[in-house]
Amino acid sequence: MQQDTILIRREGRVGILQLNRPAQLNALNDELMDALGAALLGMDADDGIGCIILTGSSKAFAAGADISAMQSKTYMDAFRQNFIGRNWETILRVRKPVIAAVAGYALGGGCELAMMCDFIIAADNAKFGQPEIKLGTIPGAGGTQRLPRAVSKSKAMDMVLTGRMMDATEAERAGLVSRIVPLEKLEEEALAAATFIASMSLPSVMAAKECVNRAYESTLAEGVLYERRNFHALFATNDQKEGMAAFLEKRKPEFRHD
């Protein structure tokens, strides 16, 4: 029997997606990326979910695109199939937050997939890298673009040109990951962060994500204007009235996500 390439579960308002090709260290193939895209869009459309966690195993988040599925591709195959573009970037269409909980290897496409998430919580055994240069190629899922934005040009060049791995400490120091936790606490810490986010007002969470992402796509003045308009718009929500009333009344807010 074929095993599922993605394991899907739910804890309260948190959706958890686990990459599941353990024998291949979660190497990312078409079947897995199609399943991941469908699961992500399903959770994004589900009113009962407020935050998503994407994770792998304790040994590997993902060791990259599946090399055995790529090795014999021709240029025309890659071009006609729109390789990478066809099914790897569905995650960028998700409007709810997606947290990458990374243990073990996050290499090549695995590192790129983690960087497409909204933030990365790393276990202390995490290792990040863009080793494509050693395969006679280059990153193909945004690594040459997102890594310099995350860690500076110098470190990104170093990683992409030498293919060396960064451990969790270096990745946190460089700004690639937001926090490091002991491996045995990874799931608990990611779930705590996701549960907290999912308990906030969904419209403000979605607006916050959209505004931070805008920082990468606009000038400072345009980005600040975009933020201002969203800030103004949130005065139209019931949750803003509830959140501020709860603060003034010294009680916990009860957000209804509208």
Binding to ligand CAA (CB under 6 A) within 94-113 occurs at 105, 107-109, 112
C-beta separation of 122 from 168 below 8 A: yes
For ligand CAA, the closer of residues 18 and 26 by Cβ is 26
Is 26 exposed, middle or buried, given 0-12, 13-18 or 19+ CB atoms closer than 10 A?
A: buried
C-beta of 134 vs 229, nearer to ligand CAA? 134
Asked whether 180 and 168 are in contact (CB, 8 A), the reply is yes
Asked whether position 67 contacts ligand CAA by CB under 6 A, the answer is yes
242 is catalytic: no
136 belongs to the catalytic site = no
Binding mask 10-39 for ligand CAA (x = CB under 6 A): --------------xx-x------------
N residues, the chain: 258
Catalytic residue among 27, 65, 194, 208: 65
Backbone φ and ψ for 6, nearest 5 degrees, come out as: -130, 130
For the CB of residue 213, give the shortest distance to ligand CAA in the complex, in Å: 21
- Residue 119 · residue 176 · CB < 8 Å: no
Out of 15, 27, 103, 112, the active site residue is: 112
Based on the shown chain and the rule CB under 6 A, indicate whether residue 64 belongs to the binding site for ligand CAA.
Answer: yes
Nearer to ligand CAA, 27 or 159 (CB): 27
Q: Is 66 in the site for ligand CAA (CB under 6 A)?
A: yes
Structure tokens at 166: 């960064």
Query: Which residue stretches of the chain are H helix?
Result: 30-45, 67-70, 75-81, 109-116, 143-151, 153-162, 168-174, 186-199, 202-214, 220-233, 238-248
Residues in 130-189 at the binding interface with ligand CAA, rule: CB under 6 A = 131-132, 135, 139-141, 143
Assess whether 11 carries a catalytic annotation: no
Q: Is 187 a catalytic residue?
A: no
**What's the closest the beta carbon of residue 71 comes to ligand CAA, in angstroms?**
9
How far is it, in rounded angstroms, from Cα 156 to Cα 149? Answer: 9
Burial readout 152-168 (b: 16 or more C-beta within 10 A, e: otherwise)? eeebbeebbeebebbbb
Closest separation in Å from C-beta 195 to ligand CAA: 31
Stretch that binds ligand CAA, among 38-46, 62-70, 183-191, 198-206 (CB under 6 A): 62-70
Query: Cα dihedral sign for 152, 111, 190, 199?
Result: positive
Could you give the angle at the alpha carbon of 175 between the alpha carbons of 183 and 24, nearest 5°? 45
Question: Residues in the site for ligand CAA, rule: CB under 6 A?
Answer: 24-25, 27, 63-68, 84, 105, 107-109, 112, 131-132, 135, 139-141, 143
Residues designated as active site? 65, 109, 112, 132
